[in-house]
A and B are shown apart, each in its own frame.
Chain A
Amino acid sequence: MINHIDVSSVLRRTVCDLYSNLVTRPTGAAVRTEIENLLAAWRGPSLTVIDFSHVNLLDFSCADEVVAKLLLRFDGGAPPQDAYFLLRGVREDHLDAIEAALERYQLALVMQADDGALLLVGTVNDDQRRAWQALRDLGRCAAEDVASAMGGEAADAAALLATLHERRLVMRFNDMYVPLGANP
């Protein structure tokens, strides 16, 4: 299931209908809480597109509250639900704030540029990045296919993909992996 959240709409609905800027921690916390409420209502595995297209300004504190703290709940072995996130409509100045927030917690996320390109942002090591890029280029495939593309062992690729899955950076359906934003 793919859900779409327009962050600007959430901001207007939950904080003030006159605001177009995502600034201050209380604002960020209110927006994140509303996003979490929406997520809780959606059952089963889901990919949520978090759309910043209509957000004018995003400051560092708000990026920490909205993006980093949201991802933090899902990063690791025991996420509260089987949810994945894809960011869209992220401008360069938004990205400055988001990257700074991700770095603080060693988090990473996937975003989709205006031209449709998928980008991995945040803290990942070189091997994880190579595995993610191989999967992105291949589309839905098994660990063995990623290993072939990387020129490595299947067990190593499987371990890397498992880590990426645990970090909610790729989806997994049985033995197949799917990059976020691609057709499962």
Chain B
Amino acid sequence: MTTVINVPPSLDDHTIEQVLDQVAPLPRDQKVLIDARHTRWASPYALTTMLTLGQTRAERAAFTGPENDDTASYWARTGFYKHAEEIFDLHGHVPRGRNGGESSVLLEITPVAKSEDVHDVVERIQQKAQAILVNELHLDPQATMRFAMTLSEACQNIVEHAQRGGWVAVQTYTWRQRLGRRVVQIAVCDAGIGFRASLENAHGRRISDRWDDGMALEDAVIRGVSRFRDPGRGQGLAGVRRFVGKWEGKLSVRSGTARIAIVPSWDDDVPLAEDLAPFPGAQVQITIPERIPPR
């Protein structure tokens, strides 16, 4: 029997939880059909999380994409279908639009598994990032390099800790609901071992009674703790946090059953959400808002 997983019409870091809530109680070998026919919009975080979800299924999942042509076509241009057809049994209309050519897509959904992939991502992002971040989002030209540094560190998290490949995507869009401004968003998702298991692997680490996914995220994201003894480790996420703070951005990291967020003044998210549906790996979202030029 196949269980149908209903995907909400608008899919972002919060509404994707509705999808994960439906999947969590099911055995991994339960056949599921992810039904996104009525979905009209999805953030890069949501798209990469859906691919990650497909990777977690022992029984290959089925997927039905949006019926709306514009939405389906956009998802094709983000590279979603290129990877989805390797992960899911695709049903319904599968757009054959070419990847690329979409100005809002700074980086199509790209697999990241090894160090060379990070080099490739960084090389590809830079030219387009300069044009979009400076000319369209009015960020300081100096932000471009730091944006690429942030992207590099976020991707390296997969290479160093996940123990399996993941996905990265970078897009801009107008975030009417929460901000009323354009944003650029980096999404980095993997279905690996997650922060808790990664830190538990640390040599001699003492696990306290309160040890859980939320604490593991606090250790890694807020305190810069790494599973490596090397004091130089843990700098990546610290650097991401500094960049996000400087540009009034938002960082959220989900792992296991918890999500931690560095919340800027323009957002009303909670700093730590716990007791979420269990989901493997780590899912990182970095959102940098457009700067409003002074009049």
Chains A and B belong together in one complex: yes
Q: Does A19 contact B (CB under 8 A)?
A: yes
Q: Does A23 contact B (CB under 8 A)?
A: yes
- In the bound assembly, the distance between CA atoms of A21 and B236 in angstroms comes to 16
- Which chain A residue shows the least CB distance to B145? A93
- Which chain B residue shows the least CB distance to A91? B145
Q: Does B146 contact A (CB under 8 A)?
A: yes
- In the bound assembly, the distance between CA atoms of A96 and B122 in angstroms comes to 18
- Which chain B residue shows the least CB distance to A68? B232
**Which of B69-77, B153-161, B272-280 lines the interface with chain A?**
B153-161
Option from A16, A57, A64 in Cβ contact (under 8 Å) with B235: A64
Name the distance in Å between A75's Cβ and chain B's nearest Cβ.
13
Band of interface residues on B: 20 to 34
Within 8 A of B (CB), among A21-80: 21, 23-27, 56-61, 64-65, 68-69
Q: Produce 1/0 per residue, B219-245, CB < 8 A to A.
A: 000000000000111011011001000
Q: Produce 1/0 per residue, B139-164, CB < 8 A to A.
A: 00010011011001100100110000
Is B156 a contact partner of A92 (Cβ separation < 8 A)? Answer: no
Option from A20, A61, A91, A92 in Cβ contact (under 8 Å) with B153: A61
Contacts of B115 in A (CB 8 A): 24-27
Is A59 a contact partner of B142 (Cβ separation < 8 A)? Answer: no
Which 7 A/B pairs are nearest by Cβ-Cβ distance?
A: A93-B145, A64-B232, A60-B239, A60-B235, A59-B152, A24-B115, A23-B152
Q: Which residues of B contact A (CB under 8 A)?
A: 115-116, 118-119, 122-123, 126, 142, 145-146, 148-149, 152-153, 156, 159-160, 231-233, 235-236, 238-239, 242
Q: Which residues of A contact B (CB under 8 A)?
A: 16, 19-21, 23-27, 56-61, 64-65, 68-69, 91-93, 96-97, 100-101, 104-105
